[in-house]
Structure 1
Amino acid sequence: MTSHLIRDARLVPLAPGEEAPDRPLYLHVERGVVSAVGPALARPDGVEESDAEGRWLIPGMWDQHVHLAQWTLASQRLDLGGARSPEDVTRAVAERIAEWPDHPVIGWGHRSGGWDRDVTVSELDVVSGDTPVVLISGDGHHAWLNTTALMHLAMPVRDSVVREAEWFAAYARLSTLVGDDGTSPEAYRRTLEHAASMGIVGIVDFEFSGGAREWAERWAAGADLLKIRMATYADTLEEVIAAGLRTGHALPGCGGRATMGPLKIISDGSLNTRTAWCCEPYADAHRLEYPSGQPNLSGDELRVLLARAHESGLEVATHAIGDAAVAEALASYAATGARGSIEHAQMVGRDDVKRMAELGIRASIQPAHLLDDRDLTEKIWGDRSERCFAFRWMLDDGVELAMGSDAPVSALDPWLAIAAAVHRSGDERAPWHPAQSLTPREALAASVDGQPMVQPGSRGDLVLLDRDPLEESGDSAATAELLRTMPVAATFVDGTAVHDVR
């Protein structure tokens, strides 16, 4: 770990009651921790020194919800985010196959929840022939495959999309179709370098993967730039427990910066697929096999998993998007004493927010999702939209917020998430349910892994910004634009620069 003296940095207050010092300060990072902060510090012999030149200094940012392999692969996939109909998709697939006839087509990003009809395998077969085609929805919860791809991935042939648990299991086999060059250590390193350029020092990785062994291999091959917390899933839980890994423990072979994270449980589905489990039916329930969505696990199954993780020293991250799923997850945390988070908490009941605070369960939120889900939410959840992305309720009730992207569902960009939390609109329209907005200070505080303003004892994970991140400019739209375009001058992990454009 580098010993580093940074001079003339403006500290940014984050916690309630904190005030910014009235002048730039020096700080000394030693053995990965800020050891001193003051108006003038002498540089010990052999210590690296750099000049912040009056820039603003914040704690390093964390993305608390990333599917890292999928995000790393996203740049190589057919971008279907702009598709507005099944015909748009099949046209794009046909064009890709005409350009690259000998290559499988992996697409990402279409959002069929707003389309006026369901898609079929047959229409994809017409434009693809024998070329395997796998089109992953923008929420990651279903995929539209052609017959060739279904057969290659050993799934029953059908004329409909593959959803939820069946798709999650099939995704793990996708490398048999396309290889794994896109998730090489070199590709991971490029992804981590890009994250560092935005001020990210750490990532909670929710990828379906080979676990600690794969991370050790990546680490040895150079994908060691940032801090990583690796999640596990139910199918590998016993392996993790048998290996003696507990939340916070260092992963073997990763030098202490990659650690064991939580058990991830996907308790319900998503808005786009109408599989998020709700207390009331969807507006278009007549189209659905399950009018209110459905849980992926029974209450008893959920409690068994939480109890097993808790007794084994693991936190739990429970994916729950619908209000019924959130309520059931909280009941399970209460029954088992497990600790951790609700991932997404997209639609919540007012009383459940209070219960989340009482139980000390974090809300792991992805504000950029509201930009994509606004219109569909209004269409199929109607008046319940006022209870969606309820960040103000959560913060006011004392729920700890931990922000992330859910990349590749949204971009791995903390400033996009912060801007969305502040302005709650991504276009010319007025903010959506602005009463649930956060201030820039609150949104930034939810993005730094619980760290207060930099002070002695703070982690040596730091970010220098060319602009004051707490600057507000007239209205929330202008403030959001300042946040989305925030220039990052330097990012430090344990006192070592991992990005520096000064």
Structure 2
Amino acid sequence: MTGGNWLIDVRRPGADRRLDVRIADGVVAQIVDHDEVDHDGVRYDAGGRWLVPGLYDGHAHLTQYAIQQSRIDLSTATSAAHAVDLVAAAAATAPQAGGSDSDEPLIGARFRDGLWPEPLHKDLLDRRFGRRPVIMISADLHCGWANSAGIALLGHPGHPTGVLKEEVWFEALMRLPQPSEQRTDALVEEVVGSAVRRGLVGLRDFEFADNLTVWERRQHFGRTPIRVDCAVLAPELSDATTRGLTSGQQLPGSDGLLTLGPVKVFVDGSLNTRTALCHDRYPGTDGHGETVLDHEALSEIMRQAQRRKLIMAVHAIGDLANTIALDCFERTGAGGSIEHAQLVADDDLGRYAVLGVTASMQPWHAIDDWQVADRYWAGRTGRAFPFAALVDAGAMIEFGSDAPVAPLDPWRAIAAAVDRESIIGHPWHPEQQLSVADALRFSTRGRGIVRAGQPADLVLLDADPYTLAAPELITVGVHATAVAGHWLHGPSALVDCLP
């Protein structure tokens, strides 16, 4: 055999059969029984490790994820007062940033107030921090909480509560002080490197930015040699942001790693912010959530995307939002996905398959949000995070993290889809759990197992994932990771010898 290099003595999950794999021109060129043929070229002995397709994150916000690593962590806060204490403690350990009269803003992130006993209000922050700007970002990114100085910095001086949500908040978020472009790219490189060491080979980036241009710059400097599908926000849709490409087309000069992704729109908000749009009212209120786009507005955006040969990515969390999104896919014939699909009406489950709409889901959200769902979606949680129900209905599913809402680690998504009980400590709708094989398939762009002809996006594991419980899946050893046949992570004998 000639051409390419060999990865010898590997196994597929769930099988004892030993295989040798030839990699050539960025593709899995050949798979044969171990030692069945003579191997020309460089060889790496994998020692019987398990080979799976490279892991892919179908929904992430990379710049926000990278930047938030250095912000004050509020994820453990159990009340608004506790969150204030966490910010104060962090400020006390950084005296160089100044005291209460400092102009340097304190920025916290990842709070979840859905179960807090008191409402958010700027007064609580004003009393503690005075004129120093304080801004807190919710874990779901759909809400911001600030004191008087902070809300003025965000462009809303005199705001009555200091709490901004949804579109108003997204616009304000862009006013936050940001690291330099060079620093941001370095932070992104760091978090991508960590994810590659967990087997990540690609992602779809829904950052609020000109993503093609941003990732083209990063690739030019050699910082992020993974596959990136670059989404376009609907308000930014233009020839400049799409470069004349259609969804799935590769950006010229990117070595096939950068592609134009879908057009992103929002139909509703989020569960923790209580803006997810639902058929039923939220308990104790007259509200059903927030409608960002109605049928007519969403249908018109879909038609615009179709004229450009672009697919859609429709954010819909509540069941009414999912109904609206599916109605518009049916009305227009557009293709694409529904992002999140956290609560789906029984009558809508089968429509995903009929319409060819992908359910892009983030299993770790069920771990973070099951208690909030029990409170605000009481009596309906049997169809919340309905992984198995959608599989049974024939839907196409893709998993992701929604980083920074959850960590950029596909094994967490796989583990959460397989067994919630071992993570949260008790059963919670186990009927919606999946097999490891299905969870792995939804985390590898539908591949599941390595076959000849696939891109050589590969991961070598130290254990058979089919045999692991959820906690073991989260910590499974990743021996090596390759993108298009280039080993980005692994022992030097592999990274240095097999290009």
TM-score normalised per structure 1? 0.92
| C-alpha contact (below 8 Å) 1:8/1:53 kept by paired residues | yes
Per-residue CA deviations over 1:64-123 (Å, capped at 9, x if unaligned) read 011101111121010000000111111122222333334421111111111122111122
Q: Structure 1 residue 426: deviation in Å?
A: 5.7
| C-alpha contact (below 8 Å) 2:148/2:162 kept by paired residues | no
Map 1:266-285 → 2, pairs under 5 A: 266-285=266-285
In the alignment, the residues of structure 1 paired with residue 224 and residue 253 of structure 2 have an alpha-carbon distance, to the nearest angstrom, of 11
Q: Summarize the Cα distance change of 1:426–1:132 in structure 2 as closer, same or farther, 3 Å threshold.
A: farther
1:52 is matched with 46
Question: Is structure 2 residue 221 aligned with structure 1 residue 221?
Answer: yes
1:17 is matched with none
| C-alpha contact (below 8 Å) 2:225/2:257 kept by paired residues | no
2:378 is matched with 382
2:165 is matched with 163
Q: Summarize the Cα distance change of 1:301–1:435 in structure 2 as closer, same or farther, 3 Å threshold.
A: same
| C-alpha contact (below 8 Å) 2:251/2:258 kept by paired residues | yes
Given candidates 492, 496, 501, the residue that maps to 2:486 is 496
Counterpart AA for 1:82: T
Segments ≥4 residues shifted beyond 6 Å: none
Q: Percent identity?
A: 38
Q: Summarize the Cα distance change of 1:311–1:42 in structure 2 as closer, same or farther, 3 Å threshold.
A: farther
Counterpart AA for 2:381: S
Question: Is structure 2 residue 93 aligned with structure 1 residue 83?
Answer: no
SS in structure 1 at match of 2:380: helix
Per-residue CA deviations over 1:333-382 (Å, capped at 9, x if unaligned) read 01111111111100001120101110111111111001111111111110
In the alignment, the residues of structure 1 paired with residue 472 and residue 296 of structure 2 have an alpha-carbon distance, to the nearest angstrom, of 47
In the alignment, the residues of structure 1 paired with residue 38 and residue 110 of structure 2 have an alpha-carbon distance, to the nearest angstrom, of 52
In the alignment, the residues of structure 2 paired with residue 251 and residue 400 of structure 1 have an alpha-carbon distance, to the nearest angstrom, of 26
| C-alpha contact (below 8 Å) 2:442/2:448 kept by paired residues | no
Question: Is structure 2 residue 67 aligned with structure 1 residue 68?
Answer: no
Question: Is structure 2 residue 350 aligned with structure 1 residue 354?
Answer: yes
Per-residue CA deviations over 1:441-460 (Å, capped at 9, x if unaligned) read 11111110111421210110
Q: Structure 1 residue 501: deviation in Å?
A: 4.0
Counterpart AA for 1:162: L
Q: Summarize the Cα distance change of 1:157–1:221 in structure 2 as closer, same or farther, 3 Å threshold.
A: farther
Per-residue CA deviations over 1:118-167 (Å, capped at 9, x if unaligned) read 11112212222232222100111001112222222322431231100011
Map 1:319-330 → 2, pairs under 5 A: 319-330=315-326
Counterpart AA for 1:53: G
Given candidates 308, 314, 318, the residue that maps to 1:312 is 308
In the alignment, the residues of structure 2 paired with residue 151 and residue 4 of structure 1 have an alpha-carbon distance, to the nearest angstrom, of 59
SS in structure 1 at match of 2:237: helix
SS in structure 2 at match of 1:383: coil
Per-residue CA deviations over 1:256-309 (Å, capped at 9, x if unaligned) read 2011111111110001111000001011326xxxx1112101211101111111
1:31 is matched with 25
Q: Summarize the Cα distance change of 1:251–1:155 in structure 2 as closer, same or farther, 3 Å threshold.
A: farther
| C-alpha contact (below 8 Å) 1:420/1:426 kept by paired residues | no
In the alignment, the residues of structure 2 paired with residue 28 and residue 407 of structure 1 have an alpha-carbon distance, to the nearest angstrom, of 34
SS in structure 2 at match of 1:441: helix
2:264 is matched with 264
2:39 is matched with 43
| C-alpha contact (below 8 Å) 1:69/1:183 kept by paired residues | no
2:149 is matched with 148
In the alignment, the residues of structure 1 paired with residue 156 and residue 210 of structure 2 have an alpha-carbon distance, to the nearest angstrom, of 22
Given candidates 364, 369, 380, the residue that maps to 1:368 is 364
SS in structure 2 at match of 1:280: coil
TM-score normalised per structure 2? 0.92
In the alignment, the residues of structure 1 paired with residue 30 and residue 309 of structure 2 have an alpha-carbon distance, to the nearest angstrom, of 34
Q: Structure 1 residue 35: deviation in Å?
A: 0.8
1:16 is matched with none
In the alignment, the residues of structure 2 paired with residue 427 and residue 466 of structure 1 have an alpha-carbon distance, to the nearest angstrom, of 22
Per-residue CA deviations over 1:45-75 (Å, capped at 9, x if unaligned) read xx43211110000011101011101111121
Gaps of 5+ in 1: 14-19, 473-478
Q: Summarize the Cα distance change of 1:94–1:426 in structure 2 as closer, same or farther, 3 Å threshold.
A: farther
In the alignment, the residues of structure 2 paired with residue 170 and residue 256 of structure 1 have an alpha-carbon distance, to the nearest angstrom, of 35
Q: Structure 1 residue 470: deviation in Å?
A: 0.5
2:427 is matched with 431
1:96 is matched with 90
In the alignment, the residues of structure 2 paired with residue 241 and residue 32 of structure 1 have an alpha-carbon distance, to the nearest angstrom, of 28
| C-alpha contact (below 8 Å) 2:441/2:449 kept by paired residues | no
Q: Structure 1 residue 492: deviation in Å?
A: 0.6
In the alignment, the residues of structure 2 paired with residue 266 and residue 318 of structure 1 have an alpha-carbon distance, to the nearest angstrom, of 6
SS in structure 2 at match of 1:417: helix
In the alignment, the residues of structure 1 paired with residue 294 and residue 157 of structure 2 have an alpha-carbon distance, to the nearest angstrom, of 25
Counterpart AA for 1:447: S
Q: Structure 1 residue 469: deviation in Å?
A: 0.5
SS in structure 2 at match of 1:215: helix
In the alignment, the residues of structure 1 paired with residue 408 and residue 182 of structure 2 have an alpha-carbon distance, to the nearest angstrom, of 17
Which shows bigger deviation, 201-210 or 426-435?
426-435
SS in structure 2 at match of 1:443: helix
In the alignment, the residues of structure 2 paired with residue 335 and residue 178 of structure 1 have an alpha-carbon distance, to the nearest angstrom, of 41
In the alignment, the residues of structure 1 paired with residue 390 and residue 453 of structure 2 have an alpha-carbon distance, to the nearest angstrom, of 28
Counterpart AA for 2:197: S
SS in structure 2 at match of 1:444: helix
In the alignment, the residues of structure 2 paired with residue 135 and residue 181 of structure 1 have an alpha-carbon distance, to the nearest angstrom, of 22
Q: Summarize the Cα distance change of 1:346–1:404 in structure 2 as closer, same or farther, 3 Å threshold.
A: same
Q: Structure 1 residue 224: deviation in Å?
A: 2.8
Counterpart AA for 1:384: R
